Structure 1
Amino acid sequence: MLESLRIVLAIIVLVLAGYGLLTGNSEAVSPYMMFFMGAMLLVMGISEIRKERKRIGFISIIVSLFVFYVSIQGFLLNFTS
């Protein structure tokens, strides 16, 4: 379940990155891409913790929280301007 969710989130991030590169409008797509990247890192962290690799799992979760913070900042900056 977590493996398939990770693959789906990775495909979404890849499609959003490709769309941003093709259209040249990466500022509008960037917060969404970062949000899904944070979700992917969170899923990867949970998966690693379940595999008894706790150190890399906790690092992935901490990085995902930072990426969520950055994506929220991006949403707020795009919303106000």
Structure 2
Amino acid sequence: MGNDIPHAEFAFLSACHTAIGDEETPDEVVHLAGGLQFSGLKSVIGALWVVDGDVAKHVVEAFYENMFRDCALLRHAS
């Protein structure tokens, strides 16, 4: 958490339980997604549940297609 990642803005964590703490330490408030935000990332997407590999692949593909769709439309309009 003491690191500063000045050029990092976004992380998409598609692994299971990346946005919740450990069952062994329920009072722990920092999980992987939270740790990345504390390190300086402006936006982090994590999972609160078990993620099936095929479903995660579909979600990530759909997310990135939609995230950059407006940028592509703006490039083509110019």
Question: TM-score scaled to structure 1, two decimals?
Answer: 0.30
Q: Which has the higher strand share?
A: 2
- Which of the pair has more CA radius of gyration? 2
Q: Which has the higher helix share?
A: 1
Q: Relative contact order (alpha carbons < 8 A, sep ≥ 6): 1 or 2 greater?
A: 2
